[in-house]
Amino acid sequence: MNDQPQSRRAFLRSLARLAAAGALALGAGALMARKPGEMCVSDGICSRCGTLSECRLPQALSAKDARQRRNDGGR
């Protein structure tokens, strides 16, 4: 590296690049960490889906919770 002090603008530019690279790496890691089965197979219509009982997607969890509340009499 050089011994000259870095300008404020160059420092902020480097910081923004580092933050963008980190966000990109986290996004790619999250996509790679997903299991292949974590895709909706019924176009988001959980009530007619045959895999609802095993599904871990947020929309399916909400549908299962609503179904459970309805079966418990709305409590």
From CA 62, how far away is CA 3, in angstroms rounded? 57
pLDDT above 90: percentage of residues in the chain: 28
58 pLDDT band (50/70/90 cuts)?
confident
CB 47 within 8 A of CB 64: no
pLDDT for residue 64 is more than 80 = yes
47 HSE (CA, 13 A, CB side): 4
Mean pLDDT (the chain, rounded): 84
Cβ atoms of 40 and 57 within 8 Å: the answer is yes
Q: How far apart are CA 66 and CA 72, in angstroms?
A: 10
Whole-prediction pTM value? 0.44
Tens-place pLDDT, residues 13-32? 999 999 999 999 999 988 78
Of 54, 53, 56, nearest to 67 (Cα)?
53
Domain ranges for the chain:
1-33, 43-75
